[in-house]
Amino acid sequence: MLQMLLATLVTLGVLITFHEFGHFWVARRCGVEVLRFSIGFGKPLFRWTDKHGTEFVVAAIPLGGYVKMLDEREGDIPAEKLDKSFNRKPVLQRIAVVAAGPIANFLLAIVLYAAVFGIGSTTVKPMIGEVVPESIASKAGLTPDQVITEVDGKQVLNWTQVQLALVRRIGESGEIQMVTESSNGWPTNHTLKIDRWQEGVRDPDPFTSLGIKPFQLPIPPVLNEVVKGSAADASGLQTGDTLLAINDTEVADWREVVELVQANPGKTLSLEVLREGQSLNLDLTPGSKSNDSGKQIGYMGASVQTVSWPEEYLIELEYGFFESLQLGVIKTWDMSVLTLESIWKMITGLISVENISGPLTIAKVAGDSVSYGLVPFLSFLAYVSVSLGVLNLLPIPVLDGGHLVYYLIEFARGKPLSQSIQELGLKVGVLMIGTLMIFAVFNDISRWFIGS
């Protein structure tokens, strides 16, 4: 919980700071007087004032931020300061100030993705483990042990890239073009036919729906550590034990153990264990806890000895500075387009609105990404930065995109929209964003606590 909280604070703090700094930096260079730069809302926790008179604030509620600028619409301004008022600036300068926030998020994403590519990583090839008979994948000629190399004309190097390429096709009809490589190195083209694929499905699973099961390295059920005071400890299990059977069902892989334990919370299981060449019989009563969907599952409190992937299954990804930067730009663009496509598909009903996530989901994913290491956390941070930039550019009054629409109309017609129209738009925008937030939080609660 502490890790999740800290990861969330870092995520929100970094993204909000960069977004608001974009507005602040451009406003200063356009000669606008900035009164306050706030990270968070509510009661100030820290505050200080710089030599220009700008008050910097870190507030108690870290769910946003704002840059307050001198503006005649918010009160009387002395005559000598009118030239520093935001509303007195040329419309192109106002457009620049408003657009600077989302642009800062895109630039941050480029830098973060470039860092991920620059750090480099070892990734597992997207090798197919199983193909479900009569499935879409089976009919397209996909078979076990093939490695997926392209999806819809784009190179893919791991399962994450395959998944992202497939997610872009959710809700669509037509054909998914896929290229695989067999053990002899020969490429094969496949055409996967889809019809309103995964339309309206909550938490869609591209691989399962196509009938593809990724190859997984067998994990012998040899215990690496037994947590003191856990169900495994109470049963007499020890480090180095090999699980042979559960309730007379032979287990050869750790995943089978996990599946059986999770399916039996609070129920006593009979174990056959190999210890130092001797077979033992033990009784295990798994504890009970809620999973992400709110369902009660069993757990034993033991870890398994790790297994290293053989070299032939791995790809080393290493890039130089300029190549990493180029890839960072491409990745940011691709994720921006994917976000826009997903929003449009939700509007048109191709993707279920139940997939909209709120702050609770962001907090959980932030905590999980930190536990996986630096590169996953930087990737998560970059993705959320892209999402924040795209969402803020939507043409909804109260968001940056809504203000940009007003200023672009003013630029085109030579005069601003009437104050009454702008105020009406503001009310509509607040209602839309408020409704969206309530819906997102409800989805979070439903997903993580109710389990529906």
Query: Catalytic residue numbers?
Result: 20
Give 54-110 as a DSSP string: PEEEEEEEEEEEEEEE--GGGS---GGGGGG-GGGS-HHHHHHHHHHHHHHHHHHHH
CA-closest candidate to residue 227, choices 286, 303, 299: 303
Map tokens 């299990």 to a residue.
237
159 near 126, Cβ under 8 Å? yes
Q: Is the dihedral of CA 313, 318, 323, 328 positive or negative?
A: positive
Return the structure tokens found at 85. Answer: 């008022």
Distance CA 68, CA 96 (A): 16
230 near 223, Cβ under 8 Å? no
Map tokens 């190549």 to a residue.
323
Pinpoint the alpha helices (H) of 226-320: 231-235, 254-262
What count of other Cβ atoms lies within 10 Å of the Cβ of residue 295?
Answer: 11
